[in-house]
Amino acid sequence: MKHAKVSSTWRPVRAQRSKRRGLDGALSALVFNVCLLVLPLAGAGALLVIARDNLYAYEFSDQGARAVALRVARLNGELIQVDFDRQNQWDGLVDMELRANDIHAARGFLLSGAGMLPRRAAQVLTQADANDAELEIAALQLLTPNTRARYTAAGPLLSQRDANAAAAPPQAASAEDFELLARAILADSESDTLQFVLTGFSLGLAGDLSPDMALGIEVLRDAARREDVSPALEYEIGALFETALPMTAFRQAARARGEGDAAGSYANASAAFQDVATPERAAAARAVLDQLGDISNATSRAGAAALLTHATSLRDLPRLVLLANAAGDRAVAAAKRLPRDGRLVEAARGQLTMTRDLMAILIIAGAALLGLVTIVVMKLAQAAIGAWVRFRAENDDDYDYAGGQLVEISTNNWRPL
C-alpha cells in the first residue's frame, strides 16, 4: 500500500507556538540574568565613587544643627539605666562631671535634658527657637539645689560669657625642644616622628600657622597619648604626616647640610625641615590640623581629643566638625561616656553631592532594576493569563484539548494495492 506524501498541514500548531514561547523565555531569562549581574556591580561602583571622591558634604545649618543636637541628646539618654528615675540619674551625671572638673561634659549633659529627662520635664527643653544659653538657664531649674550651686560656681554660664573674649593661644614649642627631637630622629630611626613633625609645624617650619592649626596640634598631641584611639586612625595620621615630612628625605637633607653634631642643631635641622616639608606636601596635614582646631573651638581641647577617639578614619573628621558645631558640649559628654561603636559619628548626616560619574552609574543601576522589575511583572502577568485561560477552558465543551488545528483526512490520500 502506497501512501501519499504528508503535507505541511499535518504539523500541529501547538509545536509552532511552543517553539516561539521557548525563544521568548530564553531571551527574557538572558536579560534577567544580565540585569541581575549589572545591578550589584553598579551599586558597588557607586559606593566606590562616593568613597573615592568623598561626595558627602557636611554643611552647617540652623535646622540641621537642631536635628543633630537632638540626636546626640537622645544618645546621651541611653546612659540612663532605670527608666522611672531618669531625672535623678540625669542630675547625678551632671554632678559627676562637675566633681571631675569637666564643665564642658557637665554642660553637655545639662543641655541634653530633652533626650534624657522624663517627657513632662523634657517639654521645658524642647523649645525650637531657644538657644543653648536659654536652655541652660531653663535646665538649671530642674537640678537639685546642691548640683545647681556647684554648676554655677564652676564657671560662667553661656549667657554670661563675653562673646568677644578670645581663648588663650596654646604655648608654642621651643627651639630647644625641636633640636632635642631632631637629634633623636637622626640618631635613632625608631624615635617618635609624629611629635617631631608636630613640633616643627608649631614653629611654623611648614608654613604660617593659624590659631586653629595651633589648637589642632595640641588636640592631636592629646589624642596621641590616649589608648582608645582607633589603630586605623593612628595609622592614617602617621601616614599623613610622613607624607608631609618623609623621614628619609629629612635625614638625608640634614646630614647633607651638616656633619656629626652639627646635623642636629636647630639651625641645620630647621633648614632641612623647611626644604623637605614643602607647602604642597604639608597641605593635607595642615587641613587636618585646621579641622581639629575648629572642633576644639566649638567644644574644648579635651573634648576634641575625646571626639577624635570615636573616628575610625580621617574621612570622619568633617562629621566631627559638624557634630562639634551643631551639638557643642552635648557631643563632648557623649564622646566621653558612650561606647566607640560609630553611633556618635553617624549622628552627623551629610548631603550627597551628585557628579557625572555617580550619575552615570546610578542611571545604569536604575536601568538594571527597571529591567528586573519589568521581566518579573511580565512573567507574573503571563502566568496569571495562562491560569485564567485554563480556568475558562475547563468549563468550555468546545475547547480543543490537543491545542492544534483539526485536519480532515479523506480517502483521496489513499491508493489501493
pLDDT grade for 164, boundaries at 50, 70 and 90 = low
Q: Is the pLDDT of residue 398 over 80?
A: no
Q: Which of 184-188, 278-282, 286-290 has the highest mean predicted lDDT (pLDDT)?
A: 286-290
Q: Which of 17-26, 70-79, 406-415 has the highest mean predicted lDDT (pLDDT)?
A: 70-79
pLDDT score recorded for residue 383? 84
Report pLDDT digits (tens) over 240-250.
Answer: 999 999 999 99
Better-scored residue on pLDDT, 260 or 78: 78
pLDDT score recorded for residue 15? 47
Lowest mean pLDDT among 101-110, 209-218, 256-265, 333-342: 256-265
pLDDT score recorded for residue 382? 84
Report pLDDT digits (tens) over 345-366.
Answer: 999 887 767 778 878 888 898 9
Quote the cell numbers at residue 238: 602617621
Q: How many CB atoms lie within 10 A of CB 252?
A: 13
H or E stretch at 352: strand 351-352
Q: Show the DSSP H helices in 260-355 as ranges.
A: 266-276, 279-298, 301-308, 317-327, 329-337, 343-346
Average pLDDT over residues 74-83: 88
pLDDT score recorded for residue 396? 62
Backbone dihedral region of 328: left (phi > 0), alpha (psi from -120 to 50 degrees) or beta?
left
Residue 255 burial by Cβ neighbours in a 10 Å radius (0-12, 13-18, 19+): middle
pLDDT grade for 187, boundaries at 50, 70 and 90 = confident
Pairwise CA distance, residues 127 & 103, whole Å: 24
Average pLDDT over residues 62-89: 88
pLDDT score recorded for residue 10? 47
Q: Is the pLDDT of residue 17 over 70?
A: no
pLDDT score recorded for residue 11? 47
H or E stretch at 212: helix 211-224
CA 151 vs CA 85, 94, 265, 316: distances in Å: 21, 8, 50, 33
pLDDT score recorded for residue 381? 87
Q: Is the pLDDT of residue 401 over 50?
A: no
Q: Is the pLDDT of residue 200 over 60?
A: yes
Decide if 219 contacts 260 (C-beta within 8 A): no
pLDDT score recorded for residue 74? 92
Q: Which residues contact 313 (CB under 8 A, 6 or more apart)?
A: 230, 232, 233, 236
pLDDT grade for 254, boundaries at 50, 70 and 90 = very high
Q: Is the pLDDT of residue 175 over 90?
A: no
Better-scored residue on pLDDT, 145 or 15: 145
pLDDT score recorded for residue 8? 47
Pairwise CA distance, residues 351 & 367, whole Å: 24
SS3 at position 61? coil
Better-scored residue on pLDDT, 221 or 401: 221
Better-scored residue on pLDDT, 352 or 230: 230
Better-scored residue on pLDDT, 351 or 333: 333
**Helix crossing, 247-257 with 175-187: angle to 10°?**
100
H or E stretch at 56: strand 56-57
pLDDT score recorded for residue 35? 86
Better-scored residue on pLDDT, 103 or 161: 103
Q: Is the pLDDT of residue 331 over 80?
A: yes
Quote the cell numbers at residue 258: 651638616
pLDDT score recorded for residue 349? 82
pLDDT score recorded for residue 127? 67
pLDDT score recorded for residue 219? 94
pLDDT score recorded for residue 13? 47
Average pLDDT over residues 93-115: 93
Q: Is the pLDDT of residue 101 over 90?
A: yes
Per the prediction, the chain carries an average pLDDT of: 84
Better-scored residue on pLDDT, 392 or 137: 137
pLDDT score recorded for residue 294? 94
Better-scored residue on pLDDT, 202 or 411: 202
Q: Is the pLDDT of residue 287 over 90?
A: yes
Decide if 375 contacts 28 (C-beta within 8 A): yes
Q: Is the pLDDT of residue 297 over 90?
A: yes
